[in-house]
Chain A
Amino acid sequence: MQHPQEGAGKTSRRNFLGKALTTAGTAIAAPSLLNQATVAKDTALGSEGEMNITLKVNGEQKNLTIEPRVTLLDALRDRLALVGSKKGCDHGQCGACTVLINGQRVYSCLTLAVMQEGKEIVTIEGLAQGDTLHSVQAAFIENDAFQCGYCTPGQICASVALIDEIKRGCASAVTPDLTRPPQLAELSEAEIKERLSGNLCRCSAYNGIVAAVQQAAGQKPPSPVAEVMLSEPTEITA
């Protein structure tokens, strides 16, 4: 297959993105009405059917010129170079693209970037404070909670939200008494598994993931060292 020549009359993806970002960044002032719930926004269709939007990602305002059909995941990965969020299935079935919007975990592959204006988006890149890891990130490392690492950013974002959900008193399908949702100290393995069932791990690092959540919840996770029963072979007497 021949690759198109970059040059006169050709627009490489990189050049195009560079131009788009520069245009958006310099010519467009962020609309000041974004936080009003009922603000109207009609597509200002350019020749490419694109729109100018501003997203707040990991505390920073980012100007983008994108088509309405761009998912939040693609905007993060392809336009903002935040490639921590992973594209696994792209159909909301695996959890690899999990990010936080206004503190709630969501699948970024199932939502459109243009719908996220005025919201606080946090990705895996936004969890650490400088060189200090988030406690959930540290717990994942200490408890062997990943193997290939592809699902890990989504698992960590989901786990961060899970801890917050417990603090806010959210119930799950396996909560015995809905009026008494579990506290962090009594969060059971069954609860953790149910609450993380929206994140698949093909390497099956599930035991480590559960242990990492237990540690992040302030519990004592089981030792990662396998306990092997050894018994001395008895001598065979003739």
Chain B
Amino acid sequence: MNNFTYTRATSVKDAAQRATADQNAIFIAGGTNLVDRLKVFLDEPSQLIDISRLQMQRIERTANGGLRLGALVTNTAVADYADVRRDYPMLSRAILSGASQQIRNMATVGGNLLQRTRCPYYYDTAFPCNKRQPGSGCPALTGINRMHAILGASEQCLAVHPSDMCVALAALDAVVEVEGTKGKRQIPFTDFHRLPGNTPQRDTNLEPGELITAVVLPPIQFAKSGVYLKLRDRASYAFALISIAAAVDLEGERIKDVRLAMGGVAHKPWRAIEAEKFLIGKPAKTETFQQAAEIALRGAKPLTHNGFKVELTKRAIRRALTVSAKGGGVV
């Protein structure tokens, strides 16, 4: 990697000011994705601003009974936090199914949201890539695209967002709290990440100089029955082919409320809003879940090598909804 100057931020304000003053600076927290990118010259910052020692390392209950996860809490600490295990098990399970213990011990909440949406072509600088170099082309269109997007992609970029944690956060209606030199703002989780469109180089709606300070989970009583189903080529320590975060709230035999999100299918965690609307008030049975799955995948545009993802995702949705409707646990 190229050399850079290294600065330790003393406060969120200080970090935001430094980053605003130097447009080529990058924040570093856990660094598990950034250091890897630096090594292959995907990022060439003039300055790294170390925010890892700032006071954003706590998990606390919010006034309305939700949870606020500080941006610097490690993935491990979130997954093992007693209230998360009990009240939001899909979040614990999503985190624990991602990466490895070593990475989860370093990776932070904020960093998990800000890891690059990427594919192997992005990582291999021998190939063009619109995310790396806008306008250079997307080799995945005609190349190997088995792991790529089936929803929301553009001619510019077919990469999928690799996070497991973010799929659960999308399902849980989380809110991202950010701060910059112009002040603080809140971004609903589903608006935080972007689809590629004509700007695949931009993964998120974070403005230059802004940093994530926390992710807030609203209280969702029925999230206790939430599940996370991850399907991949090997049993552990691999990205999802596809994944499902689901929680079903039953009133008798009928679905009172539901949350459904998919990973591994798009440039961002994909919330299945239409399928959720369809499910409310319907009986909780296989046929209903199958119809919801059809709705969720209605706009799917499979590529040369990933046609299997459409059917795989439908079956996974059916499975995840079924298990959650029975009370949750291991899918």
Select B10's contact among A40, A176, A177, A194, beta carbons within 8 Å: A40
Query: Which segment, of A141-149, A163-171, A201-209, faces chain B?
Result: A163-171
A10 to B96, CA, bound (A): 51
Q: Is the pair A106, B102 in contact by a Cβ cutoff of 8 Å?
A: yes
- Contacts A51-B6, A112-B31 given; does A179 touch B86 at CB 8 Å: yes
Given contacts A40-B8, A68-B3, contact A172 B96 (CB under 8 A): yes
Q: Output the nearest chain B residue to A169 by Cβ-Cβ distance.
A: B80
Q: Identify the closest chain A residue to B95 (Cβ).
A: A173
Q: Type the 1/0 row for A124-142, where 1 means its CB is closer than 8 Å to any CB of B.
A: 0000000000000000000
- Chain B residues with CB under 8 A of A158: 101-102
Query: Considering the chains assembled together, what is the distance between the CA atoms of A32 and B11 in angstroms?
Result: 20
Q: Is the interface of B mostly helix, strand, loop or mixed?
A: mixed
B85's closest neighbor in chain A, by CB? A178
Residues of A near B80 (CB, < 8 A) are 169-171
Separation in Å of the B17 CB from the closest CB of chain A?
A: 13
Interface string of B33-59 (1 = CB under 8 A from A): 001101100000000101011110000
Q: Distance in Å from the Cβ of A26 to the closest Cβ of chain B?
A: 23
Q: Which interface residue of B1, B6, B8 has the most chain A CB atoms within 10 A?
A: B6
Please indicate the chain A residues that have their CB under 8 angstroms from the CB of B330 in the complex: 174, 176
B114 at the interface (CB under 8 A from A): no
- A41 at the binding interface (Cβ < 8 Å): yes
- B38 and A69 contact, CB distance less than 8 A: yes
| A43 pairs with B5, CB closer than 8 A | yes
Inter-chain CA distance A71–B39, complex, in Å, is 10
Of chain A, the residue at the smallest CB distance from B6 is A68
Q: Does B133 sit within 8 A of A, measured CB to CB?
A: no
The listed residue (A42, A68, A170, A178) touching B93 by CB distance below 8 A is A178
CA distance A193 to B102 in the complex (A): 14
Closest chain A residue to B100 by CB distance? A198
Q: How far is the CA of A71 from the CA of B106 in the complex (A)?
A: 14
Contact B8 A177 (CB under 8 A): no
In the docked arrangement, what's the CA distance between A17 and B38, Å?
24
Which residues from chain A contact B54 at a C-beta distance below 8 Å?
37-38
| Beyond A91-B39, A111-B30, 18 extra complex contacts between A and B, CB < 8 Å | A40-B8, A68-B3, A68-B4, A68-B48, A69-B1, A71-B35, A95-B100, A104-B76, A109-B35, A110-B31, A112-B6, A115-B28, A115-B31, A171-B79, A171-B80, A179-B82, A197-B236, A198-B103
A-B contact pairs, 19 of them (CB 8 A): A40-B9, A42-B5, A43-B7, A69-B1, A69-B2, A71-B35, A90-B39, A91-B36, A91-B39, A92-B36, A92-B103, A110-B103, A111-B30, A111-B31, A112-B35, A158-B101, A179-B82, A193-B236, A198-B100
Closest 5 CB pairs of A and B: A198-B100, A197-B236, A68-B6, A41-B8, A178-B85
